[in-house]
Amino acid sequence: MKVLVCISQVPDTVTKITLKDNNTAVDENGVTFIINPYDEWYALVRALELKEAGIAEAVHLITVGKVNTEPTIRRALAVGGDEAVRIDADSNDPYVIANYIAEYAKAAGYDLILCGKESIDYHSGAVGPMLAELLDADYIGFATSIALEGGIATVKREIEGGEETDSCALPVVISCQKGVAEARIPNMRGIMSARSKALKIITPTPVPELIAIDHYEMPPQKAGVKLIAPDQMDELVNLLHQEAKVI
């Protein structure tokens, strides 16, 4: 069974973001980038578990990005991927990203494609279902457990107010979240071997973008904390009522 894991590069959550060009772009100077946690901790690790169990023959990785994403995809190789593909394009449009991945995946004939439930920068969660549609494959989202047997995927997933279990025949695209696997940290052997693993670079056929970002806005600054003396409960109640408006 051939498994493909979609990897996206995102800013580290502790990185301070600044904007440029009249708030139409993010200034990447000084920004630390990481693998999207849902892709790394859950989708990639579950794929590796399937390989270790003898179910998958290899785990391939794919990302859409320019040369600055190569350290990120190399880190994914260090976690345990066998080989990687970088689609040489720069887009924030999930439709474009899904098209580029689908074009490659369709030709390669993958049985299982895993991705994170969303990226932590745009939170659209749109690439997975779009990719499945473009591949004419089934899609199961928000997986917390994945089992494969006899060409059938059995997936537990979260739904509003509970959990359901779905099953479908391969090929299938599954988006993963917490619970599907336990995070792994690359060891020195993995880091060293990642340097020599194959990284294929593909120039895609351009796809018209459907979404354009008009501008970004920074969240409002948090107000300062007001300290109230323990013997001033009347003042506390008044502030909660008049300013916070929570009572």
> pLDDT tens-digit profile of 178-194?
999 998 888 888 888 88
Instruction: Report the pLDDT averaged over residues 50-72.
Output: 96
Average pLDDT, whole number, for the chain?
A: 93
Instruction: Report the pLDDT averaged over residues 17-46.
Output: 94
pLDDT of residue 195: 84
pLDDT of residue 193: 85
78 pLDDT tier (thresholds 50, 70, 90): very high
Distance in angstroms between the alpha carbons of the first and the last residue of the chain: 58
Residues 6+ apart with CB under 8 A from 15: 30, 31, 32
3-state secondary structure of 57: coil
Domain 2-219 in CATH: superfamily? HUPs (3.40.50.620)
* Short-list 177, 182, 179, CA closest to 119: 177
Contacts 24+ apart (CB under 8 A), 29-35: 33/9, 33/68, 33/69, 33/71, 33/72, 34/9, 34/10, 34/72, 34/75, 35/7, 35/8, 35/9, 35/10, 35/72, 35/75, 35/76
Q: Which amino acid is at 166?
A: D
243 pLDDT tier (thresholds 50, 70, 90): confident
C-alpha distances (whole Å) from 113 to each of 60, 83, 134, 152, 239 are: 10, 15, 13, 14, 53
Q: Is the pTM of this model over 0.85?
A: yes
pLDDT of residue 133: 97
| pLDDT tens profile 171-230 | 999 999 999 999 888 888 888 888 888 899 999 999 999 998 899 998 888 777 888 898
Are 200 and 88 within 8 A, CB to CB? Answer: no
Question: pLDDT at residue 160 above 80?
Answer: yes
3-state secondary structure of 10: strand
Least confident of 18-22, 62-66, 243-247: 243-247
Are 36 and 7 within 8 A, CB to CB? Answer: yes
